[in-house]
Each structure stands twice: as C-alpha cells, then as structure tokens.
Amino acid sequence: MNIVLLGYGKMGKVIEKIALDRGHQIVARIDITNRHEFEALSPSQIDAVIEFSHPSSAFENVKACLNKGVPVVCGTTGWLENKPAVEALAIEKDGAFFWSSNYSIGVNIFFQLNKMLARLMKPQKQYSVSTTEIHHTEKKDSPSGTAITIAEGLIENLEGKSKWINNENPADDEIAIWSAREGKVPGTHIVKYISDIDQIEISHVAHGREGFALGAVIAAEWIVGKKGVFGMSDLLAF
C-alpha cells in the first residue's frame, strides 16, 4: 500500500516505522516545509493518507485530501469544531474520512469499558465522577481528544450530566476533566467514582506511541476501497 504521511513529527516517524514493518511504502512525508509536494502528487500514487499534524493545520489538510479524492485517516485533535464540515465534504465528494481521538486498540476497549461502567453507576447517586488525563508537555491541545471522548461517554450514560469542563470545579450537571502536562508521558487517562465510603477507578496507561501508530496504520489498511465517514467503532465492530 502507498501511504502519504501528512505531519512528520514524532508520531509521524513512529507511524512510518510501523507501516514499513508491515510492508507498505511511504511515498511522501509532508510537513509545513514541503506542503507543495502533496499538491503535486497524483491520486493514483496514493492509497491512503495518514494525517497527524497540528490543530491549526488539520482542517485544511483533511479537506485537501478529500478534494484530491484520496482516503484520509486523521488523528489530530483540537480542531473538532470543523469536523462536521469535513464529514459533509466527505459525503459530497464520495470520499473516505476516518477520525479517532485515539487509535490505540486498548484505549478503544477502554472507551467501551467506560460506557459500561457508567451504565452500572447510573443509579448510584452517592458517587461523584471525574476524569483525569496526563500527557507530555509537547501536547498542544487540552483537554486531550481522548479525555473528551471519555467525558462524552459519561454524559451519554449518566443521568443529569450535560457537558464537560476542563480544570474547573464542576456544577452538578458537569463532568470535570483534570488535565496535566508532565515530562514525556505518552498518555494516561483515569475515570474515578468517589463516594464517602469508597472509590472505583479505571485507567489506561500508554507505554509509548506505538499503540497509537499501529492503530492508525491498521485504519489506513481498512479504509482503502471504502466510502463514507468512519471511526474506530467501525473498524473494531463495537
């Protein structure tokens, strides 16, 4: 498979290694310094684009892929106010757009576990709930896209919760996300239910970027030949 990397930072380099190990070809490595090279590529040269860039670039990058008629797998977070416009463009162009806040298989299992636990906790009004996320100091957006997905899963399955807030004490209808940026932490996410008598906690701790990168490459393999808007729940058949 011929892959273009849109964004060639630390994550892009890990994705490259895994893609090569799985027998794929990297036909271009695009960052802010050589964007013109992407414009010059023919769609016939590209089976899929994997986009891990910057929140300020992702919207234009994904639009460029869809306008070129090539499938795009996007892992950039922090730009989701524009995601509905991209989804509409994918449908309009009969293209393929795959987005996830986190491509780790383990994290996506954690998303489902989070929802299941929330349903179990729904009648237990004595517990307060919050979520914590810790990432490396180079991460640009806060809270993380993964933390937002976790909070949305809680809102979907708990009564009386309507929105999330970041690093603020929550009102009764709010889910608190506590965000921290520390050292070289790849990604830690924790959900806590606390009552006066006990605490229930689930967590996911990433040991490196490899899990995220592998999931992105698997998504690129999966999306070839498909049309529509997709996420990890489609790939994993949750």
Residues that are catalytic: 135, 139
Q: In what order do the strands lie in the sheet with 96-99?
A: 25-30, 2-6, 48-51, 72-74, 96-99, 228-230
| Distance (Å) of CA 210 to CA 17, 88, 135, 216, 238 | 10, 31, 15, 10, 22
**40 φ/ψ angles, rounded to the nearest 5 degrees:** -80, -15
Among 23, 75, 80, 13, CA closest to 49:
75
CB-based burial label for 170 (10 Å; 0-12, 13-18, 19+): middle
221, 1 contact by CB (below 8 A): yes
Q: How many helices, marked H, and strands, marked E, lie in the chain?
A: 8, 11
- Parallel, antiparallel or unpaired: strands 228-230 and 96-99: parallel
Question: 3-state DSSP call for residue 152?
Answer: helix
Q: What is the dihedral of CA 6, 9, 11, 12, to 10 degrees?
A: 40
Q: One-letter amino acid identity for 195?
A: S
